[in-house]
Amino acid sequence: MKEYKNEYRKFLVERFSFFRTKAHLSARDLSQRLGMSDGYVGKYEMGTLNMPSEMLLDAIKVMGVSTDEFFSKNPATYDEERKVIEKWNKLSEDNKKLVLEIMDKLK
């Protein structure tokens, strides 16, 4: 089992690996697309290499993920939550109050 320096590093590496796999990219393929050596991403995922924030953002883009989705609380429900927020933003203030009242009753 991997040992992480801190919980933030664990979050980043696990989320990175999740989306890389979801994008059907091998570590080698992603490394090459980032213009790095073949083992770059593998070393990052193994914890032997730090990745600069600019490179992380480039990798997120290459994997076809938005930064909002990458850093979301639960990527599995991100699309559903985004749709709810979009619909919420279109509601009138009165309808927002009504929705909140209904949600309170559903608890």
For 52-78, how does the pLDDT look when each residue is reduced to its tens digit (9 = 90+)? 999 999 999 999 999 999 999 999 899
Tokens in use for 30? Answer: 């992603």
User: What domains sit in the chain, N to C, each tagged with a CATH number?
Assistant: 1-71 (1.10.260.40), 73-107 (no CATH)
Task: Report how far apart the first and last C-alpha atoms of the chain are (Å, whole number).
Answer: 38
State residue 43 phi and psi, 5-degree precision. -65, -40
Cα radius of gyration (the chain): 18
For 15-48, how does the pLDDT look when each residue is reduced to its tens digit (9 = 90+)? 999 999 999 999 999 999 999 999 999 999 998 8
Tokens in use for 80? Answer: 């559903």
pLDDT, residue 47, reads 85
CB 17 within 8 A of CB 45: yes
